[in-house]
Amino acid sequence: MKRFLSMAVPMAAVLSAALIPVAATAANLSAAQIVERNVAARGGLQAWHAVNTMTMTGQIDVGGTKPVKLPFTMTMKRPHKNRFELRFDNQTAYQVYDGAQGWKVRPFLGRDGAEPYTPAEAKSAAETADLDGPLIDYAGKGNQVEVQGMDTVEGHHAYKLKLTMKDRTQRHVWVDATTFLELKMEGDPRKLDGRMHNVAVYYRDYHAENGLVVPHTLETVVAGVKQTHQMTIQHVTVNQAVDDSLFAKPQLAMAKVPAQ
Position 112 scores a pLDDT of 73
Residue 253 maps to a domain: no
pTM, full prediction: 0.82
Average pLDDT value over all residues in the chain: 85
Residue 50 contacts by C-beta under 8 Å, 6 or more apart in sequence?
A: 211, 239
Closest CA to 177 of 144, 202, 155: 155
- Residue 234: is it exposed, middle or buried by C-beta count within 10 angstroms (0-12/13-18/19+)? exposed
CB atoms within 10 A of CB 116: 12
pLDDT digit string, tens, across residues 22-36: 333 445 899 999 999
Give the torsion through C-alpha atoms of 202, 39, 80, 219, to 10 deg.
-10
Res. 151: pLDDT tops 50: yes
- CA 29 – CA 34 distance, rounded (Å): 6
In the structure, what pLDDT confidence band is assigned to residue 130 with cuts at 50, 70 and 90? confident
Domain membership flag for residue 71: yes
d(C-alpha 239, C-alpha 242), whole Å: 8
Q: What is the per-residue pLDDT across 35-59, written as a single tens digit (0 to 9) for each?
A: 999 999 999 999 999 999 999 999 9
Could you tell me where the DSSP H helices lie in the chain? Answer: 11-19, 22-28, 31-41, 45-49, 119-128
Q: Quick check: helix, strand or coil at residue 210?
A: coil
For residue 69, being part of any structural domain is answered with: yes
Residue, of 65 and 90, whose pLDDT is higher = 90
The confidence band for 7, taking pLDDT boundaries of 50, 70 and 90, is very low
Is residue 119 a part of any domain in this protein?
yes
Tell me the residue range of the domain where 60 lies.
11-247
Total domains in the chain come to 1
Identify whether 70 is part of a domain: yes
Has residue 191 got a pLDDT over 90? no
Omega before 21 cis (within 30°)? no
- Specify if 159 maps to a domain: yes
CATH number at residue 219: 2.50.20.10
Within-domain flag for 2: no
Kindly state whether residue 252 falls inside one of the protein's structural domains: no
pLDDT surpasses 50 at 144: yes
pLDDT for res 10: 32
